[in-house]
Amino acid sequence: MSQPLWGFALNLGIILTLAACGGGGSGSDSGDASGGSNQLDRQARMTFVNTAREQVNVFVQNGSDASTASLFTTGNMQGGPISDSSHREYVHRWGGSSAQPVSIGIWDTKYQLEEEPAQTNALLNNGEDWWTIVWLDGETTNSFRVSAIRRDNDDDVPDDQYGFRVFTNTDIKIEYQSATATGSTNVAAGKVSSTILMASCGDQFEISATKGQDGEVVAPQQLDLCLPNLEPGDTYLLITSDDAILYAVEE
């Protein structure tokens, strides 16, 4: 079970939710998003995470690169409205092939003419777990984006260490120093870093934008990794914007 650890919306605050049985900002659902065999004997779990400041609806349809007209229909809506700084689980079921390509779309819940929808593709295999992250292309814009990434299990994290992956809505550089590892890595907007192992949540873990406004040098900022309910041996997904954590959740 994934446990969300905190969210920073327009005002800072800690959001504690449960992922499986509803409550707070998370919930679960299941369904078959149009198409597939009558025998739905395969499934993958998708967890929708919203960091886009506005409520959104999520749509899922079998097949890649679905048209806007076919994807954004009531029958394909599998999550919504999902509030900012919250997540919801959905189980996608299909039959036939071992792998199922899907189109995933998001739209502002109001979605009259206020925002353009966004969509992406994913190839689901039976038994997989996925994150579907709704984000803004830069903290100062209202350009919605959506990314689908495989969830990381914590089988390879030692019992006395912590694993962290960083998903960012801006291009960043991560610099870290711990008893377990020292190094740096760049992460592009809409991408996720590999898992970084840390011996302590208080060790150096700094991020900085790789492209400052007007080209100025951006000083790195320390991220506070001492999250609520942090447990050694687990992996955590950190969704960031510039030098702030927007949302954190256990993988």
When pLDDT is cut at 50, 70 and 90, the band that residue 116 belongs to is confident
Residues 6+ away with beta carbon under 8 Å from 197: 157, 158, 161, 162, 163, 178, 180, 181
23 pLDDT exceeds 70?
no
Q: How far apart are CA 176 and CA 98, in angstroms?
A: 39
Split at pLDDT 50, 70, 90, the class of 24 is: very low
pLDDT band for 13, please (50, 70, 90 cuts). Answer: very low
Q: Considering the domain boundaries, does residue 197 fall inside one?
A: yes
Question: Which CATH number characterizes residue 30's domain?
Answer: 2.60.40.2890
pLDDT, residue 16, reads 29
- Using the predicted structure, report yes or no on whether residue 27 has a pLDDT greater than 70: no
Residues 141 and 175 in one domain: no
What is the arithmetic mean of pLDDT over 33-39?
59
Q: Does 142 lie in the same domain as 36? A: yes
Over the chain, what is the mean pLDDT?
84
Q: Give the span between the Cα atoms of 151 and 44, in whole angstroms.
A: 11
pLDDT digits (tens, 9 = 90+) for 185-233: 999 999 999 999 999 999 999 999 876 656 566 789 999 999 999 999 9
Q: How confident is the model at residue 10 (pLDDT cuts 50, 70, 90)?
A: very low
What is the extent of the structural domain holding 52?
Answer: 4-150
Question: d(Cα 166, Cα 4) in Å, to the nearest integer?
Answer: 15
Helices (H), the chain: 68-71
Q: Using an 8 Å Cβ cutoff, are 32 and 75 in contact?
A: no
pTM over 0.85? The answer is no
**Distance between CA atoms of residues 245 and 167, nearest Å:** 10
Instruction: Verify that 92 and 198 share a domain, yes or no.
Output: no
89 is written with which tokens?
């689980």
* Residue 40 domain flag: yes
* Tokens describing residue 130: 């996925």
Q: Which residue has the higher pLDDT, 22 or 73?
A: 73
User: Is there a single domain that holds both residue 120 and residue 223?
Assistant: no
pLDDT (0 to 100) of residue 9: 34
How many domains, the chain?
Answer: 2
Model confidence pLDDT, tens digit, residues 123-141 = 999 999 999 999 998 655 6
In angstroms, the CA 85 to CA 208 distance is 22
Answer yes or no: is pLDDT of 6 > 60: no
Assign residue 47 a region (left: φ > 0; alpha: ψ between -120 and 50; beta: otherwise).
beta
Residue 19 pLDDT greater than 50, yes or no: no
So what's the pLDDT on residue 22?
A: 37
Kindly report, residue by residue over 60-69, the tens digit of the pLDDT.
999 999 999 9
Residue 229 falls within a domain, yes or no?
A: yes
Q: What is the pLDDT of residues 68-81, one digit of tens each?
A: 999 999 999 998 89
Stretch 163-178: mean pLDDT: 95
Residue 98 pLDDT class (50, 70, 90 cuts): confident
Question: What is the identity of the amino acid at 82?
Answer: I
Q: Are 133 and 173 within one domain?
A: no
Tell me, yes or no, whether 167 and 134 share the same domain: no
Could you tell me if 179 and 107 lie in one domain?
no
Tokens of 16: 């504690």
Distance (Å, rounded) from C-alpha 193 to C-alpha 52?
20
